[in-house]
A and B are shown apart, each in its own frame.
Chain A
Amino acid sequence: MTYRAVACFDGWERQCCLCQEDHNANCAVVTDERARRFFWLNSLLIAAAILFMGIVAGTRSFASEIVKLPPLADVPTENREHALVVALITNDVSSEWQTRRGSSRSDRAIPQHCWCAQFAEKSIANLPSGFLHPSAPIYFQHWPLGLPAVLTGGKKSSEPGRAFVVITDGQYRVLELSVGVPDGDDLSRMIGDAEDTRMWIRQFPDHPKEFVEQIADRNRERVTRIWRLELERQLEVLATASDEAEQPFKDSPTLTEEIVVRLGPLADQLQNVYLKDVQMRFGLTEKSDLDRLVVLEQHSATRMPWASTIGPFVAGADLRKLYVDLTEIIWSRSAMQIAVPGELAGEPDVVADWVSQQDAQAAFTFELTPPLLSRRGGAQRIPVSEVARRHRLGWDDLDAEIEELPILRVSNRDLAKWLIRGQRRPVDISRPSHARHLFFRSAADHPYPIRDGEAPGPTITMIRKVQR
């Protein structure tokens, strides 16, 4: 169900018909022949102009009427109720982290540093005219969540472009999700679906289970049997969880918290199904084929069944609380948090403050948060031999050593800010394997990444030596 186009075109058609009827009625009272001729000529011209406008409006691009907003910006209160936000989330690096060598054109919905800007612009321009209505605006946002060079070892990432689109309501509640660059048809379909989802959320504000089922009923028809089975399974899991919950979710924060808690196991399970699905659909048989998958995920059809299955279970959640986990689930990579507009200048430097409170000559560590799916897969660390464990050189021993040190959990954003402001050496937190901790001999020292893919023995020895 799409309401936007219908309202717009009906309005024009009705106006035209009424206009003609009114004139016919008025004809009787106009006696002057010239006036009558003039009137008819005028009417014809007006009618032609209305017809022309109608035709043009039906076909022309609406790029000039696209409303853009910075990521996470507040939607104007006056139309928050009916607005939609279309967030294109890509792995581009935000201009916040880049040296400013030229500015992007301000009249573009998608900034030029977006890898898929050209195509995304076309998709937006191809939206049917009725979708862009002043009383129910659509705000387009680009969220560049790629890691800056300071967190990729000083090198520009060579990874293929990645993108996904989330449509929310005016309060950033998730309504629809698609992975890849949507074409015009995809985007139209997503907006129509988002409207439906919003309607169901409003219909069952205290019973998320009900609107989840409504969305699932719609999406079920679009996926293959293995995904339908998975959808049913997840609905059962949700039903069990809902039965156990004493209170229904009454507000968005509670719903979001519940969804965040459920997201890990849900994503884990869906990832397994997804990998089996793409293995068969695209002939991916070896681990190295995952590189091909990253490219294929630029096409929205690739993850469509996954998005259709997870969609009902994230609907209604506050995207602002969910986007980092969601991004890291989809990309299996760390993502960068974005600044809330207006807070950028006054952002506190949590890390610098904490470091300054430490003994200048003492060692300390930063704990980095791994991507959600890596966090759940405890077996990400390389195995340690029995001999090493006997010599107290295992992962548990390393964790114990780290616990003895002052430790601060830092976000990627806090870390990047701290490194840049202190003009410190870049560090690669993802390659060759994920760094779970950064060890510093002292505040003046360069960070030493403790990686999941490297044996813990040498690190333990180093920490012990420094601590002695």
Chain B
Amino acid sequence: MKLRYVCGLLLVLSQAHAYAVAPDAVVVGAQLFEQEWDSQNPSLGSDGLGPLFNANSCATCHRQGGMGGGGEAEFNAKSIGIESIEIQGHGLTGTRLAEIVSNFHPGFVLAEGNIINVVALSHQGGTPLAREFHDAMVNAAGAEFADAGGPMDASEVRIASQTPIVFERNVNGYLVRIKARMFGRNTTSLFGSGLIDQVPDELLDHQVRLQKNHPEISGRPSTLRDNRYGKFGWRANVATLFEFTDQACANEMGLQTRRKQQTGDPTNKSYMNATFDITDTQVQSLTQFVAALPAPVRSVPHDPAKRKIVQKGEVAFNRIGCAVCHAQDMGVARGIYSDLLLHDMGYESLDLNHAEPYVVRRKLVENEVEASFPAQAMAGPPVAYYGPATAIPLPDAFEQSVSNVTNAPLAGQSGANQNGRATFSFFAPKQPQVLVAFRLIDSEIKPAAERQRQLRIADRDPITRVDYYERMQIEPTNFVQEWRTPPLWGVRDSAPYMHDGRAETLLEAIAMHDGEAAGTRDRFLSLSYEDRQALITFLESLVAPKN
């Protein structure tokens, strides 16, 4: 009853909605948001929560400033990313490489045998062996972790992300050296997400044009393979709130949806969930609840002197250029303080789940092929929740051809070292290395060929088929250090800051701005002490919505 009342209030408070919000759906969504999921779901006959998960409810992490807010560092999602692999020894094959990498962590090797360079390290669940691997990684990161699974605080985030994890071992006669690091993702606040969902792509294009007037800034939209712009997530690699919610269910709680596989346990690869763990109606309800969460607000001090300081801080914020990226309004998302674009934030912000490559041109091309059957509709690689990883190229040609599932950059190479000993090396790329990619859109049998096909069907001769591809031209960007400008609305109630929560205070967060933002950061530091303090006071006036 109380929950129903809260939801009713939410509906009143929410400014606008992307959906025709049904009050009942919001109430159900709110219940689902708080629901603590169990490891079995008898009503659906599925495995429910897990097998791997970060928390057993949405509300566990999204809680700062009220239900739906951000989360502290202890709720950070974490991953391990391989920066480099060096292997010495003869006769290395893809299978052997997979075995070697599995010794480090089996999660890098996908079920079909491909190897990627990032694995999500879920906080909870899995087999005892999976927990052993988890604990080994956590110990190697050298930081202190909370019971919830994430680092204790911002200082531990920094230690975890800067401590190299080195795996140096002789595996089956191969001298192996793998260098990796732990990366983290801070729980984002969901307040105002419904408004972000309504921001049209044209507004992002408009921001790109505006930023052409600022040579040091080069924001770009997150171009998804399907020609939409991403707006959600630290990498802006998810286009809609529904997809974001859908993916969060699968990735954070192991709740398999109709579209998204749950995170599998790499130590139990043969395991298959019987069916999905959460229905479409439930995902819709969750989305509607999140969309109905009100947007953060400005807290205007009653004291005129303090109000003046906030105003002074806002003037400084605009004057030094913060507002170029932290744009105050984006259509209906008024007071968002974000352009929803990706910006290069400098080397220190590196994370190997990279941003989507920047597609600057798309062209439809046809390709005639001889085939005895129509091309299968290709779904394309699944949208990666934290951003795509890089596929590690397999060491021999035969196995490499088998592995051709993604257009990820080839960053590995085989050769021989000075002693004549065969070597394999892989270095995680900082930029996309494939600058032209193709996406199959459609396929048809040529009308003339169709008749031929009918005539020759008995002979099983090849016939002509036309495949329609989208040719995507990619502009190289430092995609491992590109991040969506985080909305500053509600910033006071969402510490720690930056994508992995490495900044405990706003001052630290500002000082950490680098890359495109280095000039703005330096202008901030050139301000008088009072103006700097005023700017921080202004930011602290951006608070989570009341109740």
- A residues with a Cβ closer than 8 A to B are 115-116, 118-119, 161, 181, 183, 224-226, 280-285, 292, 295-296, 298-299, 301-302
Q: Are A296 and B525 in contact (CB under 8 A)?
A: yes
Contact: A295 with B533, CB < 8 Å?
no
Residues of chain A with a CB closer than 8 A to B346's CB: 283
Contact present for B511 and A280 (CB under 8 Å): no
Query: In the complex, A116 Cα to B529 Cα: how many Å?
Result: 8
B511-535 interface with A by 8 A CB criterion:
511-514, 522, 525-526, 529-530, 532-533
Among B153, B507, B525, contact of A301 (Cβ-Cβ < 8 Å): B507
With a CB–CB cut-off of 8 A, which chain B residues contact A226? 155, 159
State A281–B532 Cα separation when bound (angstroms): 18
Minimum CB–CB distance from B151 to chain A (whole Å) comes to 10
User: Do B511 and A292 touch (CB < 8 A)?
Assistant: yes
A301 with B348: CB separation less than 8 A = no
List 16 other contacts, CB 8 Å, given A226-B155, A281-B155, A281-B158.
Answer: A115-B529, A119-B533, A183-B533, A224-B155, A225-B159, A280-B155, A280-B159, A281-B511, A282-B512, A283-B511, A284-B511, A285-B348, A295-B525, A295-B526, A299-B507, A301-B507
Q: Are B508 and A281 in contact (CB under 8 A)?
A: yes
Residues of A within 8 A of B504 (CB): 281
Q: Which residues on A sit within 8 Å (CB–CB) of B162?
A: 280
Residue B470 lies at the interface, judged by CB distance under 8 Å to chain A: no
Are A302 and B507 in contact, with the CB atoms below 8 A? yes
B505 close to chain A: CB less than 8 A: yes
A280 touches B533 (CB 8 A): no
The 8 nearest A-B residue pairs measured at CB: A224-B155, A282-B511, A283-B512, A280-B158, A295-B525, A298-B529, A283-B348, A281-B508
Contact status B533-A301, CB under 8 Å = no
Would you call B205 an interface residue if the criterion is a C-beta within 8 Å of the partner chain's C-beta atoms?
no
Residues of B within 8 A of A116 (CB): 529
Chain B residues, Cβ within 8 Å of A299:
507, 529, 532-533
Which residue of chain A lies nearest to B522 when distances are taken between CB atoms in the complex?
A: A292
Secondary structure of the B contact surface, majority rule:
helix
Query: CA of A280 to CA of B160 in the docked complex: distance in angstroms?
Result: 11
Give the Cβ gap from A221 to chain B, nearest Cβ, in Å: 13
User: Of B144, B155, B508, which is within 8 A of A282 by CB?
Assistant: B508
Closest to A227 in B: B155
Give the distance to chain A from B357, nearest Cβ to Cβ, in Å: 26
Chain A CB within 8 A of B156 CB: yes
Q: How far is the CA of A183 from the CA of B504 in the complex (A)?
A: 18
- Once the chains are docked, how many angstroms separate the CA of A226 from the CA of B156? 9
Residues of B within 8 A of A (CB): 144, 152-153, 155-156, 158-159, 162, 346, 348, 502-505, 507-508, 511-514, 522, 525-526, 529-530, 532-533
Is A118 in contact with B530, judged by CB distance below 8 angstroms? yes
User: How far is A246 from B155 in the complex, measured between Cα atoms in Å?
Assistant: 40
The answer, among A119, A161, A292, for a CB contact under 8 Å with B525, is A292
Residues on A with C-beta less than 8 A from B512 are 282-283
Neighbouring A residues of B525 by C-beta, 8 Å:
292, 295-296
- Min distance, Cβ A286 to any Cβ of chain B, angstroms: 11
A-B contact pairs, 15 of them (CB 8 A): A116-B529, A118-B530, A119-B529, A119-B530, A119-B533, A181-B529, A225-B159, A280-B502, A281-B511, A283-B346, A283-B511, A284-B511, A296-B507, A296-B511, A302-B507
Chain B residues with CB under 8 Å of A225's CB are: 144, 152, 155-156, 159
- Tell me the smallest distance from the CB of A182 to a CB of chain B, in Å: 11
A161 to B529 alpha-carbon distance, docked (Å): 9
Q: Which residue of B lies closest to A115 (CB)?
A: B529
Q: Which residues of A contact B511 (CB under 8 A)?
A: 281-284, 292, 296
Contacts of A224 in B (CB 8 A): 153, 155-156
Looking across the interface, which residue of chain A has its beta carbon closest to that of B349? A283
**Chain A residues in 8 Å Cβ range of B159:** 225-226, 280
How far, in angstroms, from A381 to B512 measured CA to CA in the complex? 33
**Which residues of chain A come closer than 8 Å to B533, judged between CB atoms?**
119, 183, 299
Q: Looking at A115, A116, A181, A225, which has the most chain B CB atoms within 10 Å of its CB? A: A225
Contacts of A298 in B (CB 8 A): 529, 532
Which residues of the other chain, A, contact B508 by a CB distance below 8 angstroms? 281-282
CA–CA, A296 to B530, complex, Å? Answer: 13
How distant is the Cα of A292 from the Cα of B346 in the complex, in angstroms? 17
Alpha-carbon distance between A301 and B536 when the two chains are bound, in angstroms: 13
Q: How far is the CA of A77 from the CA of B525 in the complex (A)?
A: 44
Task: List the A residue with the shortest CB-CB distance to B514.
Answer: A283
**Whole-angstrom distance between the alpha carbons of A115 and B152 in the complex?**
38
Contacts of A119 in B (CB 8 A): 529-530, 533
Chain A CB count within 10 A is highest, among B507, B513, B522, for B507
